[in-house]
Structure 1
Amino acid sequence: MRRRLIHSTLAVVLVVIAVFGVSLLVIEARSIEAGARERVQSEAARLVAVVESRLVAGEQVTARSMHNAVPSDRHVVIDLAGEAPFTMGDRPEGGVISATETGAHGEAVTVQQSAGAVSDGVLRMFLIILAVSLLAVAAAVLLAVRQANRLAAPLTDLAETAERLGSGDPRSGRRRYGVPELDRVADVLDTSAERIARMITAERRLAADASHQLRTPLTALSMRLEEIIGTASDREAVQEEATIALAQVERLTDVVQRLLTNSRDPRLDSAVSFDLDEILIQQMEEWRPAYRSAGRAIVHSGKPGLRAVGTPGAVTQVLATLVENALMHGDGTVALRTRTTGTQVVVEVADGGPGVPPELGSRVFERSVSGRNSTGLGLAVARDLAEADGGRLELLQQRPPVFALFLSRDTGAGSG
């Protein structure tokens, strides 16, 4: 990926340099040539004026008298009416730029300049453009390498983290990269690592409990079977021992069932009754500095003292996603409002921004769907967390946006 990013960046830079560099060189070459022609034309007009003024004054116009008026790097042909033309300066070789002007007394002045001067000017301009292009390529290489490392390194680290999680290693990197989308992925991987760690702990606890609690009934069952074998000739003894062994099997089944029941998904055991205001206050305190830096505010209103049933950590993560989404894509004051509806408590997150585009609607919760040039991962993960916690996340209003998190209400608590 790093190589592809560098190559693509360089390709874009080279195309831009080729298009604009060639265009600039053509324009400058024409400008240099046009400037040279204008200078020669102006020189011819000036010399005609000098010749005409001297003719009016009755002076003779000769190569000697015009020596000081003609530049040394020009080839000039002066043709007076009724006289043989005379030349001044060396005749240029190769291509020339020529201009002829005539006066009121029939005199004509032709000024010629070597086209090599234009070629030299174009060459100098080409060298300047080439030097600037090389500097641009060098800068593009440095920026491309830096950007590729900035993007590829976090992705490589996240891939290693995901591979580590897939192999059963729940260690969490707790690294952040300064890219909101990548940091969001890192948050999800850290949460997954914690869940995997809890599951591994539960499995280890199950194995330890099983080895301890199953050993005794299995030992007792083995002893009963040995006694059955030893008393095979005594039918009553065999029947008695078999009855006892069957009871041992039933108790063993109960032990296995209890162990399996206790090893359920740890998320089911973490659902508790919690104070919703504590989480909202914690979120406001956590996000208030970021909103203050952006020149915005975050406020809390609604019904106080509500208690919900669920996982506080998951609810916190869902609300953090909504608040972060409002900071990145919304505008104005962000309002957190609490209310009740039936047996549920509702937390609404609203802002004064442009909201969700009409063509997206509820599809905003689908993975990789986004209308704001982002990854579209945050809301999808938040919805999954809400549903896994027994709640739901909905878009109540598109413009201005209003998102609502529905949670089970603790009916045993007061309404506050």
Structure 2
Amino acid sequence: MRRRLIQSTLAVVLVVISVFGVSLVIVETRTISHSARERVESEAVRLAGIVDRRLLGAETVDAEVLRDQVADGQYAVIGIPGREPIEVGSKPSGNVIHATAKGGQGETVRVEEPRSSVAREVGRTMLIIGLVALLAVVAAVLLAIRQANRLTSPLTDLAETAERLGSGDPRPRHKRYGVPELDRVADVLDSSAERIARMLTAERRLAADASHQLRTPLTALSMRLEEITLTDDLDTVKEEANVALAQVERLTDVVDRLLTNSRDPRNGSAVSFDLDEVIQQQIAEWRPAYRSVGRAIVTSGKRHLQAVGTPGAVAQVLAALIENSLMHGDGTVALRTRVTGNQAVVEVTDEGPGVPADLGARIFERAISGRNSTGIGLAVARDLAEADGGRLELLQAQPPVFGLFLSRTPPPKDQEEEQTVR
């Protein structure tokens, strides 16, 4: 493209120079020839006037006297009646330009000038025109190269940007070139890069969330299946199989929830549900894991609370908090339920050292962890809570107290019971 731009610009300039240059040469040649003829005629008239004046004054008229009156390169013949013709200068050979003038005393003056002088003057003029044309061509080539670089360099940049997008590097360049059409293409590519970056981020986030959220249900399901393989009691097998089926259903719900949130986090299927059922389910699932490390998990607080949300999502949030206490906390883990305003609150606390002071509210950011963990669980838990219209907060750092706030649907009779389950 660069070569085509230079060639096309150069072709246009050459055509313009040819048209105007040839016309200018013709005009200048005619002008020089006409000027030379007028100059010779003027010299003839002037010389005739000098001869006429000297004749009237009875002065001498000869070649010696008139030699200084004839310009170099010119030849003059003065004819006086009754005398021999007087020749001044060297007679030119070849083509000449001549003019004849007559005086008042009957004398005639013929002035000749070689046409080669006109040719030399025309040659000098054509040389000047040629130099100007050459400068114009050089300027045109330089301008064409500059313009070609201005147009082709952005196209090269845009091609590199498109190639980077195709290779999986969606960083926008935010570079503009001062050419509206090219800037429009750059705008579109940058917008596409930002959309691709958002999609890639969403896909990576979905993969990380799925890996983290599915790990615990799959581990629990594996433990149930191992217990089935280790027992010959049919009743135990049925009981464990039923529990495993329930966990498979929750696992399916986790997958559906992750996919739904990856498309639109606001798409929830909130319903009114019994908060106690979700808490007891989590207690039953996590009690074996706590017992295996010599720790306990208990519940207390208001009973028969009706909350608005998605039971599966609430269960995932509580599972993330319980698992966090198991991995990073110590002592007994307590799930306390209470009411504040029109909200039901589930607090999860333990007797561990709590959240380090340097983390604080950043504990919910992705990749932020107090120990060697993924740093995804609490971030996913907060996203799930907010998608259900609730919120997850760190109420106290030491000892740690996490609070899950959900919209509350009060029951027909407000039953308040304080009970601890071990």
TM-score, normalised via structure 2 length: 0.54
Cα drift, residue 237 of structure 1? 9.0
| Residue equivalent to 1:255 | 254
Q: Which amino acid aligns with 2:169?
A: D
Q: Which amino acid aligns with 1:42?
A: S
Q: Which amino acid aligns with 2:164?
A: R
2:126 and 2:22 map into 1 onto residues whose CA distance is: 9
Cα distance per residue 1:325-383 (max 9 Å; x no partner): xxxxxxxxxxxxxxxxxxxxxxxxxxxxxxxxxxxxxxxxxxxxxxxxxxxxxxxxxxx
1:265 and 1:75 map into 2 onto residues whose CA distance is: 105
For the structure 1 residues 265 and 3, does the alpha-carbon distance in structure 2 shift closer, same or farther, using more than 3 Å as the test? farther
Cα drift, residue 34 of structure 1? 1.2
1:24 and 1:156 map into 2 onto residues whose CA distance is: 43
Q: Which amino acid aligns with 2:211?
A: S
| Residue equivalent to 2:197 | 197
1:106 and 1:247 map into 2 onto residues whose CA distance is: 142
Secondary structure (helix, strand or coil) at the match of 2:136 reads helix
Cα drift, residue 196 of structure 1? 1.8
Task: Establish whether residue 165 from structure 1 lines up as the match of residue 129 from structure 2.
Answer: no
Cα drift, residue 39 of structure 1? 0.3
| Residue equivalent to 2:380 | none
Cα drift, residue 160 of structure 1? 0.9
Cα drift, residue 64 of structure 1? 3.8
Cα distance per residue 1:50-107 (max 9 Å; x no partner): 2333333444543344333323421112233455434221111222111122334443
Cα distance per residue 1:137-187 (max 9 Å; x no partner): 222233222222222222211221122123221122233334454444434
For the structure 1 residues 108 and 242, does the alpha-carbon distance in structure 2 shift closer, same or farther, using more than 3 Å as the test? farther
| Residue equivalent to 1:125 | 125
1:94 and 1:49 map into 2 onto residues whose CA distance is: 28
For the structure 1 residues 98 and 182, does the alpha-carbon distance in structure 2 shift closer, same or farther, using more than 3 Å as the test? same
| Residue equivalent to 1:139 | 139
| Residue equivalent to 1:23 | 23
Q: Which amino acid aligns with 1:140?
A: A
The 8 Å contact of residues 21 and 129 in structure 1, kept in 2 or not, is answered as yes
1:55 and 1:213 map into 2 onto residues whose CA distance is: 130
| Residue equivalent to 1:89 | 89
Q: Which amino acid aligns with 2:102?
A: T
Once the two structures are superposed, the pairs formed by residues 224-303 of structure 1 within 5 Å of their partners are: 250-264=249-263
| Residue equivalent to 2:355 | none
2:125 and 2:12 map into 1 onto residues whose CA distance is: 23
1:64 and 1:212 map into 2 onto residues whose CA distance is: 122
Cα drift, residue 242 of structure 1? 7.3
Cα distance per residue 1:180-216 (max 9 Å; x no partner): 5444443443333222221111000111122233445
Q: Percent identity?
A: 66
Secondary structure (helix, strand or coil) at the match of 2:263 reads coil
TM-score, normalised via structure 1 length: 0.55
Once the two structures are superposed, the pairs formed by residues 384-395 of structure 1 within 5 Å of their partners are: none
Q: Which amino acid aligns with 2:66?
A: M
Secondary structure (helix, strand or coil) at the match of 2:90 reads coil
Once the two structures are superposed, the pairs formed by residues 309-388 of structure 1 within 5 Å of their partners are: none
What runs of 5+ residues in structure 2 fail to find an aligned partner? 268-422
Cα distance per residue 1:267-316 (max 9 Å; x no partner): x99xxxxxxxxxxxxxxxxxxxxxxxxxxxxxxxxxxxxxxxxxxxxxxx
1:62 and 1:82 map into 2 onto residues whose CA distance is: 14
Secondary structure (helix, strand or coil) at the match of 2:94 reads coil
The 8 Å contact of residues 176 and 183 in structure 1, kept in 2 or not, is answered as yes
1:265 and 1:241 map into 2 onto residues whose CA distance is: 36
The 8 Å contact of residues 74 and 112 in structure 2, kept in 1 or not, is answered as yes
After the TM superposition, which of the residue ranges 111-120 and 188-197 deviates more from structure 2? Answer: 188-197
The 8 Å contact of residues 101 and 108 in structure 2, kept in 1 or not, is answered as yes
After the TM superposition, which of the residue ranges 68-77 and 90-99 deviates more from structure 2? Answer: 68-77
Q: Which amino acid aligns with 1:11?
A: A
| Residue equivalent to 1:386 | none
Larger radius of gyration, structure 1 or 2?
2
| Residue equivalent to 1:63 | 63
Secondary structure (helix, strand or coil) at the match of 1:263 reads helix
For the structure 1 residues 161 and 72, does the alpha-carbon distance in structure 2 shift closer, same or farther, using more than 3 Å as the test? closer
Q: Which amino acid aligns with 1:256?
A: V
| Residue equivalent to 1:213 | 213
The 8 Å contact of residues 199 and 265 in structure 1, kept in 2 or not, is answered as no
Cα drift, residue 260 of structure 1? 2.2
| Residue equivalent to 1:372 | none
2:117 and 2:249 map into 1 onto residues whose CA distance is: 109
| Residue equivalent to 1:78 | 78
The 8 Å contact of residues 67 and 89 in structure 2, kept in 1 or not, is answered as no
RMSD: 3.4
| Residue equivalent to 2:44 | 44
2:114 and 2:187 map into 1 onto residues whose CA distance is: 72
| Residue equivalent to 2:4 | 4
1:106 and 1:239 map into 2 onto residues whose CA distance is: 152
Residues paired across the two proteins, number = 267
1:101 and 1:244 map into 2 onto residues whose CA distance is: 136
Cα drift, residue 47 of structure 1? 1.6
Secondary structure (helix, strand or coil) at the match of 1:73 reads coil
Cα drift, residue 45 of structure 1? 1.2
Secondary structure (helix, strand or coil) at the match of 1:43 reads helix
Cα drift, residue 5 of structure 1? 2.2
Cα drift, residue 41 of structure 1? 0.8
What runs of 5+ residues in structure 1 fail to find an aligned partner? 270-416
The 8 Å contact of residues 75 and 111 in structure 1, kept in 2 or not, is answered as yes
